[in-house]
Amino acid sequence: MLKRIDLNQEDIDSISSALSAASPANDDVEQTVLAVINDVKSRGDDALCHYAEKFDGFIPEDFRVSDAEIDEAFKNCEAGLIKAMEKTAGRVREFHKTQLHSGRSFNEGNLEVQTVYRPVTRAGCYVPGGRASYPSTVLMTVIPAVVAGVRDVIICTPPGQDNKISPAVLVAARIAGASSVFAIGGAQAISAMAYGTESIAAVDVIVGPGNIYVATAQRMVSQDVGIAAAFAGPSEIVVIADETANPKFAAIDLIVQAEHGPDGQSWLISPDEEILETILKEVKVLVNKSKRRQEIMSTFDRGGFAVLVKDLSQAFDVANTVAPEHLQLMIGNPENCLSLIQNAGAVFMGNMAPASVGDYYAGPSHVLPTDRSARFASALTISDFVKDIHIISMGADALREAAETITKIADAEGLDAHAESIRLRIEGLNDLA
């Protein structure tokens, strides 16, 4: 099920080749997405209706979900699920509050430089749907925006096969504090949030995971609207396992991210051939039992790899090359290996901390960098919704002290007005003396 790579026999460059082969072809995707973006920009709601019918199979009477429908969702949502979502929402909210920081300042004589933080005005959260329901993604995207102080936080999510948004998603939207929910998905939803339509006002920042079309649309509108630094596309996991790993646990954790469906990746890496083979046997057994076998196999067929390495050090070299969304360390004393990690969205330690804990409970957002963007990006945080504004105050004595430095640099750059703005003030101060 997983393609074998033996680094005892092959060069580590084979990992990069495998990554290239696993990546979906982008040319066709980009052409399709560009056509959708341009259509939504020019035709607004008419284009949304066209794509709703084309991709979702029906056109809602109103893209915005009414409060009455959300009230009904609470009635239809199982009480235990509501309680669980409220508990997770509390953990997510408290974690993101720890990221809040008041304005800091730098003082030197009569020169003061302050940094104040201002949230964006409107944020758009994309929540995948259609084949599955993801209330957890509502909590993990909306709550950080609300904690950051964003005034208007909207959700775009495609309806399911019954042409409705699941009650759990609507309940989560209210628990999280979303302003509005819109029944629209795909690249057309990203386009609507970026540029606005008659139904959906343009936002300042778009966050949230999605399929390759959604993620590509986010990249393509990034010059016109804020996009979280991480490329939040199809799910990925790397499991590093040694002889201390529980084979059944490792197998199910490889399947966990694969069950999201196509274009994801699942990597098993081990220096122990016996444990690697045992885990692969468990994977086969569990996949054959799964209700989402088709989705899992579609991931494994293109993005499933089992890598035999020489030692744990090389295992981390492979993991850092993959730069996965989720990195699971099913090894003895994993805390001793943290210094070897360079690229990962989130790290899960030992046999008892699966990625599902991060998906549903731990507190940090489960919106993590994918497609190797963990090389330069992090998990979604309140910083994705906040801007720094610098406020500079200066007294006469401080200006006199700084004048020569400023004018010399301005003169060297040939920017006379810059230098003159300082000289005129110094002359004014001298006249008053």
Three-state SS for the chain is CCEEEECCCCCCHHHHHHHHHHCCCHHHHHHHHHHHHHHHHHHCHHHHHHHHHHHHCCCCCCCECCHHHHHHHHHHCCHHHHHHHHHHHHHHHHHHHCCCCCCEEEEECCEEEEEEEEECCEEEEECCCCCCCCHHHHHHHHHHHHHHCCCEEEEEECCCCCCCCCHHHHHHHHHHCCCEEEECCHHHHHHHHHHCCCCCCCCCEEECCCCHHHHHHHHHCCCCCEECCCCCCCCEEEEEECCCCCHHHHHHHHHHHHCCCCCCEEEEEECCHHHHHHHHHHHHHHHHHCCCHHHHHHHHHHHEEEEECCCHHHHHHHHHHHCCCEEEEECCCHHHHHHHCCCCCEEEECCCCCHHHHHHCCCCCCCCCCCCHHHCCCCCCHHHHEEEEEEEEECHHHHHHHHHHHHHHHHHCCCHHHHHHHHHHHHHHHHHC
Set 325, 366, 390, 413: catalytic member: 325
Set 96, 260, 326, 366: catalytic member: 326
Q: Are 363 and 95 in contact (CB under 8 A)?
A: yes
Region 379-386: mean pLDDT is: 92
Percent pLDDT > 90 in the chain is 69
Active site residue 326: yes
In whole angstroms, what is the distance from residue 284 CA to residue 300 CA?
11
- Which amino acid would we find at residue 21? A
> What is the pLDDT, as a whole number, of residue 231?
65
Q: Is the pLDDT of residue 293 over 90?
A: no
- Which amino acid would we find at residue 309? V
Angle between helix 186-195 and 26-43 (nearest 10): 50
> Could you report the per-residue pLDDT of 170-221, keeping only the tens digit for each?
999 999 999 999 999 999 999 999 999 999 999 999 999 888 899 889 999 9
> Could you report the per-residue pLDDT of 123-159, keeping only the tens digit for each?
999 999 877 789 999 999 999 999 999 999 999 999 9
Lowest mean pLDDT among 16-30, 55-69, 158-172, 354-368: 16-30
> What is the pLDDT, as a whole number, of residue 64?
95
- pLDDT-based confidence at residue 238 (cuts at 50, 70, 90): very high
Q: Are 206 and 231 in contact (CB under 8 A)?
A: no
In whole angstroms, what is the distance from residue 248 CA to residue 265 CA?
19
Question: Partners of 239 in the beta sheet?
Answer: 268, 328
Higher pLDDT, 24 or 63: 63
Active site residue 259: no
**For residue 111, how many other CB atoms are within 10 A of its CB?**
16
Higher pLDDT, 21 or 326: 326
Selection from 95-99, 197-201, 259-263, 377-381 with the highest mean pLDDT: 197-201
> What is the pLDDT, as a whole number, of residue 103?
62
Higher pLDDT, 400 or 233: 400
> Could you report the per-residue pLDDT of 11-62, keeping only the tens digit for each?
888 898 888 877 766 668 888 899 999 999 999 999 999 999 998 888 988 9
